[in-house]
Structure 1
Amino acid sequence: MNSNAELLRQLKIDKSHRESPGGGNGGATKIALIVLAVLIGLLALGGAAWAWLAHRPVEVTVATAIAPAGAAEAGAVLQATGYVTARRQATVSAQITGTLTEVLIEEGDRVKKGQVLARLEDNALRAGLDANRANAAAARASVVQSQTQLEQALRDADRQEALVGRGLVSRQIAEQGRTQANTYRAQLNTARRQADAADAQVSVGQVNLDYTVIRAPFDGVITDKAAQVGEIVSPLSAGGGFTRTGIGTIVDMDSLEIDVDVNEAYIGRVKADMPAEAVLDAYPDWKIGAHVIAIVPAADRGKATVKVRVALESKDVRIVPDMGVRVSFLERRAEPVADAPKGVLVPAGALARRDNRDVVFVVADDKAMRHDVTLAARNDGEQRLVTQGLAPGDSVIVTPPDSLTDGAAVRVATRPSP
């Protein structure tokens, strides 16, 4: 009991240590203000940290969605690099020198054979053609006049021959009438030749006038526009910096093929019509069927290579001239698989669940874009077949964090092989 009483005495407040009434409230107020300032500072720091973390790019690992194999693999006996080339390509120019009044093409335009690409100033040529036509008309009128004179001279000669038989005129007069008719016949022939020459001048003038209209020589795509309205074009490379030798370049996209340089030490492995497979540098996951057209019978002594022409067995708008390409020459032609699956393959870790849906996040412009996807029943272990929602070549995020949202900023750390 004594010990309990002692404890109670220790818990009592000692009134002698109270602060004076005048200073107690002031001290408590200062302490409260200090605590409030500290809390406000902590909240501000927390908000800044949250804003920085919220906009900080999330570091992610990505992989490339690939198309499943659709053909039986064929062994490659040799690989070589080269470029896509066009066998049919032309720089279109005017056949006469003139000033451009219209340029009707732009890069990327598809044109048809005979389509008007540009026009030159044609006032002088049009006036010359009108003058040639007037001369031709005058020449034809001269032919008509000579024809009429000849017909009259022949009738006069016939009458004089009849009078000679009756003894009314001398034979000399009849011979003079026949000579006059022959003179008119010669004049008629001359007039006809002059009319033909005048008609030829009209044709020349018409051809020169037609030269002021530049047309496409074949179907193709404009890859370069080389001149503008107001510039002078000429088939000759003369006239200074303002004279162009071409209007533009047209390429027949159906004539695209591949030129590769094969080391001369391995050229014996390549045969004409040999199957091959081409992969463009721009689309590394796209395999294009091909075959050898010909081996050019000439070697480059500087590079110790031989040029090989390779045909593309399928045409696509993605294939353009001068693209880099890698060609694999195959032992045999790949056999197609009848039940080739449709879709793309992605790592199983790239799949996530959001709102009870299967989704994949694709990296585009340093942002994570959510794609709702449809999965096939096929399961390839570490890879899953996506039938809808993705395209070959898409960069998908592997193991996306649960906090990742659509449109979030990301930074690619590594890109493992698919």
Structure 2
Amino acid sequence: MSDEKARLLRSLRIDPAEVVAEGRRRRWRLPLLLTVFLAALAAWASLSQLHRPETPKALAEAPPAKPPAPVAEPAAPSGLVASGYVVARRKATVAAEITGKIIAVPVEEGMAVEAGQELARLDSSLAEIDLASAKARVLSARAAIESAAADLKDAQRILERTRNLQARDFASQADLTRNQAHADMLKAQLAKAEADLALADSEVRRSEQTIDKHHIRAPFAGMVVDRSAQMGEIISPLSAGGGFTRTGVCTIVDMDSLEIEVDVNEAFIHRVAPKQRVRAVLDAYPDWAIPAEVIAVVPTANRDKATIKVRIALLAKDPRILPDMAAKVTFLAGAEVGGRN
């Protein structure tokens, strides 16, 4: 057992001679590796110098060439672009001038109407009764005029006979005075009857106009874009507090009065002038260029947006152009506007 332990201890012992030899081998290995690396680096540098193209001396000493001057390209026609909306210069919400109940509305949205065409009809039964009464008063006034004229004619004949009798002392002055007063009274009654007839005639005309107001008509030719009233509703020119009374029957737009209104930044308004050609494009039809021109620059500015409103006329009329459509316009300087696609 002791021999085995001694053998193990001897195997674990470090020989000083081997340690010294290993240290010597490590000391000369590092310089050798460094020398080999430096030699390889020098060889690579020499090869790079051999493969570099030689530059002629004259070319090397020549001053650097000046960069070529930029060529001025033709300026592309630039246009001022603005956005806005299609608006109608003639647009009206038609309402009644009197209060009444609607008994008919013969129009619908999208219907074309002519000037004077009936849009709605109100109940006119009471107005027709008033018209009949006014016509009766006219007949009564005419009869009163005829009666007063006959009485006056008889009184004037009696007055003339009394004058002749009084001139021959067959009638007293009192009879002459009494007959004169009676004739004057009848003349006044005739004048009153004529005034009553004129008043009755005016009442007839007023009643006829009142009946006509029960027929709500279109003020101009156009297109019905909104119908707000229904049969059986009460309509009035004044709005009631409860909200159960209509104030308008329908809205009409004159489609021939459509134009575009855009807001132009006041910094670029000097580039816009009346009669200037414009190319308009609707957002709904981006491939359709509509020829247009400037009508006027509205002489007022929007302080909040720093813009000025410009009115633009559409030179091409088309049923696709509708009120309140969004549009973009390009103001052209001497350029022609493309045709319709």
Q: CA deviation at 1:240?
A: 2.3
Whether contact under 8 Å (2:279, 2:337) holds in the other structure is no
- Find the residue that maps to 1:187 and give its secondary structure: helix
Task: Give the counterpart of 1:158 among 157, 160, 171.
Answer: 160
The offset of 1:335, in angstroms, is: 7.3
1:200 corresponds, among 193, 202, 212, to: 202
Is the contact between residue 272 and residue 294 of structure 1 (CA under 8 Å) also seen in structure 2? Answer: yes
**After the TM superposition, which of the residue ranges 304-313 and 235-244 deviates more from structure 2?**
235-244
Q: Which amino acid letter does the alignment assign opposite residue 301 of structure 2?
A: A
In the alignment, which residue of structure 2 is the partner of 1:123?
125
Letter in 1 for 2:160: D
Q: Which residue of 2 aligns with 1:324?
A: 326
User: Does the 8 Å contact 1:76/1:328 carry over to 2?
Assistant: no
- C-alpha spacing 1:76/1:219, structure 2 compared with 1 (3 Å): farther
Deviation (angstroms), 1:242: 2.1
Aligned counterpart, 1:262: 264
Structure 1, 267-276 or 252-261: larger mean CA deviation? 267-276
- How far apart are residue 164 of structure 1 and its match? 1.3
Match of 1:311 in 2: 313
Contact 2:278 2:337 in 1 (8 A): no
Contact 1:93 1:245 in 2 (8 A): yes
The aligned counterpart of 1:66 is none
How far did residue 185 of structure 1 move? Answer: 0.5
Indicate the residue corresponding to 2:236 in structure 1.
234
Determine the structure 2 residue equivalent to 1:86. 88
Describe the SS at the equivalent of 2:286: coil
Partner of 1:141: 143
- TM-score, L = length of structure 1: 0.62
- In the alignment, the residues of structure 2 paired with residue 207 and residue 142 of structure 1 have an alpha-carbon distance, to the nearest angstrom, of 26
Give the corresponding residue for 1:178: 180
Q: Is the 8 A contact 1:75 1:332 kept in 2?
A: no
Q: CA, structure 1 residues 312+229, in 2 after alignment: closer, same or farther (shift >3 Å)? A: same
Max Rg structure: 2
Higher strand share: 1
Letter in 1 for 2:173: R
More helix by share: 2
- What are the residue-to-residue correspondences of 1:311-390 with 2, within 5 Å? 311-334=313-336
Cα distance in 2, alignment partners of residues 251 and 235 from structure 1: 20
Aligned to 1:132: 134
C-alpha separation between the residues in 2 aligned to 1:151 and 1:328? 85
- Which stretch shifts more, 252-261 or 141-150? 141-150
Aligned mates of 1:184, 1:319 — CA distance in 2: 72
Structure 2 unpaired stretches of 5+ = 1-75
Rounded Cα–Cα distance in structure 2 between residues aligned with 1:165 and 1:137: 42
Aligned 8 A contact 2:163 2:176 in 1:
yes
Q: Does the C-alpha gap of structure 1 residues 300 and 335 become closer, same or farther in structure 2, counting only changes over 3 Å?
A: closer
Helix, strand or coil: the match of 1:205?
helix
Map 1:214-293 onto structure 2 (within 5 A).
214-238=216-240, 240-293=242-295
Q: Could you list the runs of 5+ residues in structure 1 that have no partner in the other structure? A: 1-73, 343-391, 393-418
Q: Which residue of 2 aligns with 1:210?
A: 212
Q: Aligned AA for 2:229?
A: A
The one-letter amino acid of 1:81's match is S
Identify the residue that residue 296 of structure 2 maps to in structure 1: 294
Note the alpha carbon deviations across 1:101-149, whole angstroms, 9 max, x for none: 0001100000000101110011111111111111121112111111111
Q: Tell whether the 8 Å contact from 1:231 to 1:244 is kept in structure 2 after alignment.
A: yes
Tell me how large the CA RMSD over aligned residues is.
Answer: 1.7
1:75 to 74, 77, 89: 77
Distance in 1 (alpha carbons) for counterparts of 2:78 and 2:179: 96
Per-residue CA distance 1:249-287 (angstroms, 9 max, x = gap): 000000000000001111111111111111111111111
Indicate if the aligned counterparts of 1:256 and 1:321 stay in contact, CA closer than 8 A.
yes
Task: State the TM-score, normalized to the length of structure 2.
Answer: 0.75
The answer (yes or no) to whether the contact 2:105–2:231 under 8 Å persists in 1 is: yes
